Chains A and B, each alone.
Chain A
Amino acid sequence: MNSEQKPLAFFNEIYDCYQEAALAKVRDYDYNIAGFPIRLSFAGDALVNRLIPALAHLKTAHICEPLLTICIWDSTSTNTKIPPPSWEGQHLQKRGEIWGLNNDRIHTSFMWGANTLSMLDYERNLGIYWLNNYELLPYWETSSPLRTILQLWLNKKGVQMVHAGAVGIAEGGVLLVGKGGSGKSTTALSCLNSELFYASDDYTLITPNPVPFAYSIYSTGKKKPDDIDRLPFLKPIISNREKLGQEKAVYFLHDHFPEKIINSFPLKAVFIPRVTGKLETNLEKTNFTTGLSALVPSTIKQLPNTGKTACQIMMQIAQKLPCYYLNLGTNIEQIPEVIYQFLKG
């Protein structure tokens, strides 16, 4: 077998394992993600309740012909095994790609820490998501599941997953950009207690044409444990209270605020939250390059196979929208008010 054939051969080998695991039981869940009908096919039940809550707001009735199907299972609960690639030294790369198992048709990556395998066959529109033991799935995978497969497939459709939050109203919203700790989550989650609607706090799907548009993908929120007191109204709904020593607080918002989740809106601006320590929240105009600096590096760093196309989409979005610093004050209630007034103004 030559090196060009290896990725497809490995995909097929793993897909055969899924089909074996699926002999006993398959559960299908259908979703509308950024306008695309997508099916999650679970072999067995074990991962269902760990992966679907974050997508609950996008669930649809049965789809006859999904454009993408993702096969999901774990070895422990299905009592099946899958063969590893022939690791030869440094075969696992920084963003998870497995050396030698990627080409124009097949993507293969393994996420350190989460220890999940993600594969995508672009030709068959078929994804594979596997891990050894469902009980070891970390909280960041349950709060934003299937990131790699979804972002790769959607990228080919002109939709880019970005490391950004988004809030707004039906007429329009803002993209909240910046690295971890910049205030994206505080800003986005504070909007649940306001006239604004919540699309996301950490990952958003964006498309530049015909006008910049944002799509919600995960109706979850996360906060560092030492910061949960800033949003006391969310404390009763922390889903992993017993693990806050090791994990961020995770909120499954569709369970508690279904009326506050919005699936999409046109984008009106890019906001860069930054903590000031002052009382008041205000906006400060900045330039396109500052917006891109806050958006692009943190997106590219963590999503496998992001490159030129992703950069082009993000540049198109930033070129079309005004960019502002959102100087965050300590009066949390004022944050959504400032955003709302901007959108209404």
Chain B
Amino acid sequence: MEMQIAFKINSPKVVQETIDGEVVIVHLEKGDYYSLMNSGADIWNGIETGMSQTEIVAKMEAIYEGDSAEIASSVNNLIEELKAEEIIIPVEKNGHQITEITPVETKLKFEPATLGKYTDMEELLALDPIHEVDEMGWPNAKTQETF
């Protein structure tokens, strides 16, 4: 039987927590902060639970409506990025255990996963552009406390 590759989080160099739907990953040695949302968070969940790449793609196809090739490509790209950033390490999948994938009733539209990376001096992925400004030209968005 062909060996299945799964991934493990590069602990203790990397710590992570899901906060308000955002997977917040910190590489402690570099001090960099990474963010995954939506499909990225779901792929991360697959990684975290020890799924192989094939299983993660199957999981994503079960919960998202989208082109299979696009989903597979997005999973592959994110995994490659996470490996390059030394956030995850490939490992042999534990035994021959096959992870159960539960289909959902309503599939969400698939959007490719993006890995946000924020360093201490610059933020490499911006949030929204400034849409609303007040009479002086400063943003005046109203948001709720998120922490």
**Is B108 in contact with chain A by the CB < 8 A criterion?**
no
Q: For the complex, give the distance between the alpha carbons of A201 and B41 in Å.
A: 29
> Within 8 Å CB of A306, what residues of B?
31, 33, 120
* Neighbouring B residues of A90 by C-beta, 8 Å: 126-129
Is B69's beta carbon under 8 Å from chain A? no
- Asked if B116 and A115 sit within 8 Å, CB to CB, the answer is no
Closest to A179 in B: B19
Interface string of A217-235 (1 = CB under 8 A from B): 0000000000000000000
Please give the distance in Å from B1's CB to the nearest CB on chain A: 33
A87-B137 contact, Cβ under 8 Å, with A163-B147, A311-B26: yes
Identify A302's interface contact among B134, B136, B147, CB under 8 A: B147
Q: A305 CA to B123 CA in the complex, in Å? A: 9
Question: In the complex, which residues 110-146 of chain B have their Cβ closer than 8 Å to any Cβ of chain A?
Answer: 116, 118-123, 125-130, 133-134, 136-146
Asked if A300 meets B33 with Cβ closer than 8 Å, knowing A94-B126, A311-B28, the reply is yes
The answer to whether B16 touches A297, judged by C-beta atoms less than 8 angstroms apart, is: yes
Given contacts A112-B143, A113-B141, A113-B145, contact A305 B26 (CB under 8 A): no
* A180 on interface, CB distance cutoff 8 Å: yes
Task: Take A92-B139, A115-B140 as given contacts and tell me if A297 and B126 are in contact as well, using a CB distance cutoff of 8 Å.
Answer: no
Rounded to whole angstroms, the CA-CA distance of A135 and B85 in the bound complex is 44
Contacts of A102 in B (CB 8 A): 121-122
How many residues of B are in contact with the other chain, CB < 8 A? Answer: 45
The answer to whether A334 has its CB under 8 Å from any CB of chain B is no
B residues within 8 A CB of A308? 29-31, 120
- A107: nearest residue on chain B (CB-CB)? B121
Say whether B138 contacts A110, CB under 8 Å: yes
Q: Are A112 and B147 also in contact (CB < 8 A) when A93-B126, A94-B118, A95-B123 are?
A: no
29 contacts between A and B (CB under 8 A): A81-B136, A82-B138, A83-B137, A87-B130, A87-B137, A89-B130, A90-B126, A90-B129, A92-B126, A92-B139, A93-B126, A110-B138, A113-B142, A115-B141, A132-B140, A140-B145, A163-B147, A293-B15, A296-B26, A298-B147, A301-B19, A301-B33, A302-B146, A307-B31, A307-B32, A308-B31, A308-B120, A309-B120, A311-B28
- Which B residues are closer than 8 A to A by beta carbons? 11-12, 15-17, 19-20, 22, 24-26, 28-33, 35, 116, 118-123, 125-130, 133-134, 136-147
